[in-house]
Amino acid sequence: MIPEDSLLARIQRQDQQALADVYDRYFDQIYRYLTYRLGEPDVAADLTGEVFLALVDTLKANKPPRVSLSGWLYSVARNLAADYIKEKYRTVPLDDDLLADDVSLTDQAYLAHLAPVLKKALLQLTEEQQHVVALRFGQGLSLAETALLLDKSVGSVKALQHRALASLARFMPQEVDHEG
């Protein structure tokens, strides 16, 4: 795999093949991120295309990403997702993958009840907290990978994640109980 710094240097030189390499390397990652954030695969596909069109536009304007190519792509995706959510008054959906194959019917019913409550709670997080939750739990990125994408320290990402999870716990109604 081509190192990101090499791709970034080639993009900055306006190497046309580099643009294709960036698309091949990052399309699936950005698409999965947007699908997690929006819960709408068709919209995620459209917005993923817009992310790469934005890259082409910045290259045409001779203003390529300077430090982190993946960070720039995720930032554009984040902004597009936030705009879409605001426009459609939607919540940040959870993956339907919460239901594993071997989950009991009782647990499936509980998770089906919990998902909308959790979605509502996620919407109450700050945009930055939602972004960290999506990267860490939706994308499965490590603290270090998330920190790199956000251009923050690992400690800052840990603090953001901690505050997000603490806020989620506060926003969850007390009557949500697995036993009852």
What the chain holds in terms of domains, given with CATH numbers, is 4-88 (1.10.1740.10), 96-171 (1.10.10.10)
For residue 179, is it left (φ>0), alpha (ψ between -120 and 50) or beta? Answer: alpha
Report the alpha-carbon distance of residue 129 to residue 125 in Å, rounded.
6
Q: How far is CA 44 from CA 5, 24, 66, 95, 148, in A?
A: 26, 17, 26, 13, 23
Token output for 98: 């919460």
Report the alpha-carbon distance of residue 67 to residue 5 in Å, rounded.
8
If you average pLDDT over every residue of the chain, what do you get? 81
User: According to the model, what pLDDT value does residue 73 have?
Assistant: 94
- DSSP conformation class of 29: H
Least confident of 13-27, 38-52, 109-123: 109-123
DSSP string spanning 64-121? Answer: --SS-HHHHHHHHHHHHHHHHHHHHT---PPPGGGS-TT--HHHHHHHHHHHHHHHHH
What SS3 class is residue 28? helix
Report whether pLDDT(1) > 90.
no
pLDDT digits (tens, 9 = 90+) for 81-124: 988 887 775 444 444 444 444 556 666 665 666 777 777 778 78
The pair phi, psi for residue 2, each rounded to 5°, is -70, 130
